[in-house]
Amino acid sequence: MIEVRDLRVRYGTRTVAHVPELDVGAGECVAVVGESGSGKSTTLMALLGLTEGAEVSGHVRVCGVDVLTAPARRLREIRGARVALVMQSPQAALSPTTRLGVLMRRALDLHDVDASERAMAEAVEAVLLDPAILRRYPHEVSGGQAQRFAIALALALGAEAVLADEPTSALDVTVQAEVVGVLRRLRKERGLALLLVSHDLALVSTIADRVLVMKDGEVVESGPAARVLAEPSHPYTRELLEALP
**Contact at 8 Å (CB) between 229 and 205?**
yes
Least gap, CB of 198 to ligand ATP (angstroms): 8
Strand order in the sheet with 218-224: 65-66, 55-62, 2-11, 14-24, 218-224, 210-215, 29-33, 193-198, 161-165, 83-86
Interacting residue with ligand ATP among 6, 11, 66, 230 (CB under 6 A): 11
Contact between 147 and ligand ATP by CB under 6 A: the answer reads no
Contact between 245 and ligand ATP by CB under 6 A: the answer reads no
Least gap, CB of 199 to ligand ATP (angstroms): 6
Interacting residue with ligand ATP among 34, 90, 138, 232 (CB under 6 A): 34
Neighbouring C-beta atoms of residue 188, cutoff 10 Å: 10
Q: How many residues bind ligand ATP (CB under 6 A)?
A: 13
Residue 93 amino acid letter = A
Report the alpha-carbon distance of residue 179 to residue 151 in Å, rounded.
9
Could you tell me which stretch among 35-43, 150-158, 187-195, 231-239 binds ligand ATP (CB under 6 A)?
A: 35-43
Could you tell me which stretch among 34-42, 72-80, 150-158, 225-233 binds ligand ATP (CB under 6 A)?
A: 34-42
Contact between 41 and ligand ATP by CB under 6 A: the answer reads yes
Contact between 76 and ligand ATP by CB under 6 A: the answer reads no
Interacting residue with ligand ATP among 1, 4, 16, 240 (CB under 6 A): 16
Interacting residue with ligand ATP among 4, 24, 40, 182 (CB under 6 A): 40
Report the alpha-carbon distance of residue 180 to residue 207 in Å, rounded.
7
Interacting residue with ligand ATP among 31, 38, 138, 208 (CB under 6 A): 38
Least gap, CB of 109 to ligand ATP (angstroms): 33
In the complex with ligand ATP, the residue whose CB is nearer, 101 or 167, is 167
In the complex with ligand ATP, the residue whose CB is nearer, 23 or 216, is 216
Q: Which residues contact 44 (CB under 8 A, 6 or more apart)?
A: 32, 85, 163, 165, 195, 197
Could you tell me which stretch among 32-40, 66-74, 99-107, 234-242 binds ligand ATP (CB under 6 A)?
A: 32-40
For residue 212, how many C-alpha atoms fall within 13 Å in the half-sphere facing its CB? 26
Report the alpha-carbon distance of residue 161 to residue 157 in Å, rounded.
11
Q: Is 51 exposed, middle or buried (0-12, 13-18, 19+ CB in 10 A)?
A: buried
Contact between 13 and ligand ATP by CB under 6 A: the answer reads no
Least gap, CB of 80 to ligand ATP (angstroms): 21
Q: Which residues contact 61 (CB under 8 A, 6 or more apart)?
A: 2, 3, 4, 67
Residues found near ligand ATP in the complex (CB under 6 A):
11, 16, 34, 36-42, 53, 168, 199
